Amino acid sequence: MNLTVVLPDGSARPLTCAPKGSMMDAMRAGGVPVRAECGGAMACATCHVHVDAAWIARTGPAGDEEADLLDMSDYRAENSRLACQIKLSPALDGLTVALQLDAFEG
């Protein structure tokens, strides 16, 4: 499947991966500079992304616990999600997300 991550500088990083794991896993495997400090345990918000508006219906909104973590971010928006909570599936082929500054390792 094909994914796109927009970095904070506006550049787009295309990724190709299998439809398994999470968006965070795909970003790490693809060399995207995501902090992801808890490794996907949903104990932080260091894999914070904004889901492209065209995709938010497919990824769904943040759950309650996820929303609580996202509330600590200065970059929180209606389309905020933790990449570790976006489970990849064939339905998300083409997904575009924007990595937020609080999750950018760079």
The domain that holds 26 is classified in CATH as 3.10.20.30
Indicate the pTM of the whole model. 0.96
Instruction: Supply the range of the domain harboring residue 20.
Output: 2-103
Strand order in the sheet with 2-6: 12-16, 2-6, 96-99, 48-51, 80-82
| Number of domains observed in the structure of the chain | 1
Tens-digit pLDDT profile for residues 12-49: 999 999 999 999 999 999 999 999 999 999 999 999 99
